[in-house]
Structure 1
């Protein structure tokens, strides 16, 4: 009996040990310390990108404040060799460029110190996710130094910023198009998809095409009310033709991409056209929605803040989307690999600094923008129209390129046969 009771006690103790090891607390205690540290570093890196976005947003607000109210708030204690006797060269347009240059310097230094990071345990990765006190002083120095630089060099930076802003727009377009392709691939019907996915894809494409058509009609009504508005009529009509071309190519038997991706792209192209026409000068008679008194109300302020938020969101979404610009997109992520490319993230933010500078000065280095305005003027309208056409061209090439490559392969095989 003693042996039986001893064996029963041993079985019970072993059962208790097994149950205790299966408990969450036991699993947490038995977890590899390396995995715990890896999880902590990964969470730090994911939190860090939001901190950088907040910093970028605050710098945007600083640039706006320097442009509109810096000359009336700051006392005349500025560096006269850089700002001039009246301080005009440190406010308004040049003030925005100086703030943009400081933002560019900070994020470009972060790019130089993090572009080689591949693992979470590396020093570059820890520098990206931590050391915030040191980076605060680095950011402060980067923002102060441009206000001691002569105006001639700031003008040179403004010319370079135009090119950098154009590169940012191109990268943003590629990121948006890749997202549309992913969305279409996720919802497009195939042999293995169920009826629900097909219905959702059909409903979504119908909604996007409906929104696009309503946008075209609304732009004709609000921005082309008379035949004299020939330029707006041309922009809107050309946009409608682009919608038809993209839809026809998507439905072609050799392409066969369906209506979802072309519908999403159609709404995006209509948005770009609307944004371009909205950027036309205020005194234009073809814009029936804009006031002529030059004053601003709560709608102007709200639209301005939304525009700044859109800049930050566009920069953030493009910065974390480094996969769209990789040649090999099927790399398997290991446990200690970084979850997004730190160098690419900071490079996009440095280009975004140039982009928001161009929006605040309306792509014009000579004239100062009005208060609470952003991206207004013929230069801004022209850039957005070109952006729309380039977006439609890239998307069309994405549709046609697989067919062209397949046609070339077939021709090469036929020529190699005797």
Structure 2
């Protein structure tokens, strides 16, 4: 429903007629939901544009454009030419993501300490979509005129730091997702005592562990050798041992006593993600003998094959996980697991606002606490479509939301470029040991965060985590 409402907001970019027609066909939804999805859509469009610049053959196609040709033409004077290599490749991804990240950083600063939609800055958050898109498009065009010089290397380090910070947010969301999944399925099993739910729990757990173990075996086969690759062996073995320890902790009686629904389902999800982070980390190892993927890239003679480096399996899986986390944070409502995983600022809170707070049919219900939700359409005598549920209190931290999306943009930038050092023509690629350590440390942080979510209720029994 939120996506449909966001489509209605997007139609408003095309004029009032398109907006009215689209809104008339849509169901009602909360303004906080539609706004978050609109920003997620903006981020997705930017990601698609960055992917297009990495498409094989695009550089050859640009050479046919008059102002990209070094020779004079009938259309452009010979002194009006640009180097179209800067319009494709890794540096093009950097330039596009630079503008999008800058936009979200500025929005994050502008939305500091906004408490409700009564704030004068609220229309900037929830409206002016045509202006926002035009500003970003203009900024991206201008970014291609930034001199190359040290831009790529400098922005790479910013991207690495921002990507690491987003991975931490991603860890929080994945741990929250694991707890929520287990809470729902275990709760359904306890209520119904259905063998179907028991089979689903057991099947999902075994499947996750089977995939994780298969991943560990494949990492040993393809990223280690009998007499070398000791660092890769350490990372794989150490993370395997940690996953076993974490799985054991989740089943301890003392942990089960304070967190009855903790179990192997959550541990299997976290273990699977840790295996992915391990693979992603050692894939950036600069030791080419222990990195078959990178060795294949640098030894190939096909230029198009080098261009396709940004679309390898690691990048695709990374983008799928990234998009799932962004969409999850845009639609997910904070629950009791958010208190343990510290994700209350990331997920939407239920502030109690309901549409048509004065509905007589709801009055008298002991569970009903009306919070007025203003709607401009209703005040004008029209049927409400997107209604304001944040007049008394915001449903999420606006400033932190934009900061998270800025970091998500930097993560996309680093993922599309495989965390390598940038080169505009992709003739040479440089692996990056720093990115290897970023991902390996992230895997340890993921396990640490999950263990904390298990033992926190036992360590602080007086604190309410329910």
Aligned partner of 1:354 among 403, 407, 410: 410
Q: What is the CA–CA distance in structure 2 between the aligned matches of 1:288 and 1:98, rounded to whole Å?
A: 26
* Structure 1 gap ranges (5+): 1-35, 79-84, 410-418
- Residue 170 (1) aligns with residue 171 (2): no
Q: What is the RMSD of the two structures over their aligned residues, measured on CA atoms?
A: 4.5
Give yes or no for contact 1:63–1:100 (8 Å, CA) kept in 2. Answer: no
Alignment of 1:68-79 (within 5 A): 69=59, 73=63, 75=67
How many aligned residue pairs are there? 368
* Preserved CA contact (<8 Å) 1:168 1:355: yes
1:106-255 equivalences under 5 Å are 106-113=103-110, 124=121, 126-149=123-146, 151=149, 156-188=154-186, 192-196=190-194, 197-255=197-255
- 8 Å CA contact 1:247, 1:263 repeated in 2: yes
User: Which protein has the larger Cα radius of gyration, Structure 1 or Structure 2?
Assistant: 1
Answer yes or no: is 1:267 the counterpart of 2:286.
Answer: no
For 2:293 and 2:159, the matched residues in 1 are separated by 33
Does residue 326 of structure 1 match 2:352? no
- With the length of structure 1 as denominator, give the TM-score of the two structures: 0.70
- SS of the aligned residue for 2:221 comes to helix
- In structure 2, what is the equivalent of residue 10 of structure 1? none
Q: Which runs of 5+ in 2 are unaligned?
A: 1-25, 71-81, 257-261, 355-372, 374-388
Distance 2:84 2:187 in 1: 62
More divergent stretch after superposition (226-235 vs 153-162): 153-162
- The DSSP-based 3-state class of the residue aligned with 1:188 is helix
1:379 and 2:369 aligned: no
The structural deviation recorded for 1:390 is: 1.3
Match of 1:276 among 268, 274, 281: 281
1:287 positional shift? 3.3
Q: How far apart, in 1, do the equivalents of 2:294 and 2:288 lie?
A: 11
Higher relative contact order, chain-length normalized (CA < 8 Å, sep 6+): 2
Q: Give me the whole-angstrom Cα distance separating, in 2, the residues matched to 1:200 and 1:38.
A: 34
CA distance in 2, matches of 1:163, 1:393: 20
Which stretch of the first structure deviates more once superposed, 300-309 or 163-172?
Answer: 300-309
Q: Secondary structure at the match of 1:406?
A: coil
Q: 1:181 to 1:39 in 2, by over 3 A?
A: closer
Structure 1 residue 198: Cα displacement = 3.4
The Cα shift of 1:326 comes to: 2.2
Q: Deviations over 1:301-339 (max 9, x none)?
A: 564556545544444434555844327987543023256
Higher helix proportion: 1
Please name the residue that 2:78 is paired with.
none
Work out which of the residue numbers 2, 16, 35 in structure 2 matches 1:45: 35
Please list the CA deviations of residues 182-240 of structure 1 after superposition, one character each: whole Å capped at 9, or x if unmatched.
11222236994333233322232222222222222222223235242322221221121
8 A contact 2:55–2:308 mirrored in 1? no
